[in-house]
Each structure stands twice: as C-alpha cells, then as structure tokens.
Amino acid sequence: MAVAVLVLLGLGTAACSDDDGDLEAFCAGIAEHRDELMAITPEQSEAEARAALPAVLDAYDEIVDHAPREVRGPARRLRDLLHEIAEVDPDDDAAYGRAVLELLEEDTQRDAVAFTTYVQEHCGVDLTSPATR
C-alpha cells in the first residue's frame, strides 16, 4: 500500500482564497519542501509510509495555501485525500485499504498528473523522480 501512497504523494496537495494564488510562493514552497513531498517511497513498509505522512501533509498544506488557480482544484483534492488516509485507524486494515484504493481512481490519477505537470512546467521541479533535483 505504500506504493499506492507514493503514486499520490509523488504527484501531489489549507484553504486558499478565491484569488489567483501566488506562483512565486507556491514554487518556493515546492522547492523548500521537495524532500518532504518525496518522503514516501515504494521500498518503505506501510508503517514507515504512515510515519512519514504528517510531515508530508504539513508540506502540502503550506503549498496548497499558495496554489495558483490553474492547479488549486487538483491540489486541494489530493491534499484532502491524504488527510483522509492519515485519519484512518492504523489497525483497521479494511478502512485503510479502501482509502488507499481511492488513490488509484481515475479522477485521482488525473488530479495527480495535473499537479505534477503544473509543478514541472511552472516551477521546474520534478516530483515524479526522487533522483531528480
């Protein structure tokens, strides 16, 4: 299941106002928190992935605050799904499995691709490859 979490985290998501966002602050946040955004890897156990999730969520919360309008919707939806996964009882495997399965849904994948593509094109940061800085 850590792999499924990576799919979302490698792709990517505090409320924003209805303004146009702040691209400079958004990109600065992406660059500053890239390590946290990439903290979950396929090699990790589920327990390790869950342990990394709070720092990942903090990073996404800060970044979504500044998300430009073009990427705000996907960023919010991805962030909200991560929060849902973080709130699942770690002893409830069925509930956790259902939450993680949402990561594989077509709409979630579309949001993830939109988010990572926007970040790559506008911020010059690759969130799909831990080796790329």
Question: What's the token pair of residue 63?
Answer: 């970044």
pLDDT surpassing 70 at residue 73? yes
Q: Which amino acid is at 64?
A: V
pTM of the model: 0.77
d(CA 30, CA 17): 19
Q: What local confidence, expressed as pLDDT, does residue 49 receive?
A: 81
- Read off the pLDDT of each residue in 18-35 and give the average, rounded to a whole number: 90
pLDDT surpassing 60 at residue 12? no
Q: What is the largest CA-CA distance in the chain?
A: 41
Q: Report helix, strand or coil for 41.
A: coil
Per the CB < 8 A criterion, the answer to whether 67 and 114 are in contact is no
Place of tokens 């979630």: 108
d(CA 47, CA 67): 30
Q: Report helix, strand or coil for 43.
A: coil
Q: What local confidence, expressed as pLDDT, does residue 13 receive?
A: 37
Q: Which residue did the predictor score with more confidence, 70 or 4?
A: 70
- What is the b/e burial string over 19-36, where b = at least 16 CB atoms within 10 angstroms of the residue's CB? eebebeebbebbeebbeb
